[in-house]
A and B are shown apart, each in its own frame.
Chain A
Amino acid sequence: DAKTTQPPSMDCAEGRAANLPCNHSTISGNEYVYWYRQIHSQGPQYIIHGLKNNETNEMASLIITEDRKSSTLILPHATLRDTAVYYCIVRVYSFSGSARQLTFGSGTQLTVLP
């Protein structure tokens, strides 16, 4: 699975959009970009994933550049409860064979400030 690079920490004002960048310059054509977050003392929570098109769900939006070498997770209106470590993970998908693990990087500590 391709390696990802994220800033170690970011701050965001409550109510503003939080934009979390991720670099995955070695991504392959069959690799998805996944985002998870981990709030203190909880397990990782799935947020969103995408291949090459932008994606949106009730939690966030995922913007993937045309060359797929980077992406941005957008939390449109950050709240204090969004304070967490955010992990960007690149993972090969396969419709055959055994399950594959997630390989976590160091992630970004997002702190939402009141």
Chain B
Amino acid sequence: DTEVTQTPKHLVMGMTNKKSLKCEQHMGHRAMYWYKQKAKKPPELMFVYSYEKLSINESVPSRFSPECPNSSLLNLHLHALQPEDSALYLCASSQPRDGNQPQHFGDGTRLSIL
């Protein structure tokens, strides 16, 4: 069982909809990450939050809007997505001054854009 919980597990939405993906961890980690994974490809980083502040944005389109309301929660707000945004969205957490500590991943939200 994963210690990083993502909801929903599956999401189908139209291009004009607004939805949010949620991620929660209770390991006391102060860094949280969003990755995007297309079919048969490795995960690619989207955003990094460190101590609840956005520290890395990998030039992600503005239709993806991350939010970190507290140290345990990470949201990804979606608006006006395109069909090519269909993918598995993965959340991860770790200690920010991480030395050699690993990241822990959730099982992702599988998003389909109609």
Contact = CB atoms under 8 A, between A and B. Distances in A.
B7 interface: no
Contact of B44 (A43, A51, A104): A104
Given A93-B99, A94-B97, A95-B97, A101 B33 contact: yes
Interface string B82-114: 000000001010111111101111111010000
Interface residues of B, number: 31
Given A93-B100, A98-B96, A43 B105 contact: yes
Interface in A7-60: 32, 34, 41-46, 49, 51
The interface centre, meaning the residue of B4, B6, B45 with most chain A CB atoms within 10 A of its CB, is B45
Contacts, number: 73
Interface in B41-75: 42-45, 48, 50, 55-56
Q: Is the interface of B mostly helix, strand, loop or mixed?
A: strand
Contacts of A32: 100
A99 B98 contact: yes
Given A34-B102, A93-B98, A102-B103, A44 B33 contact: no
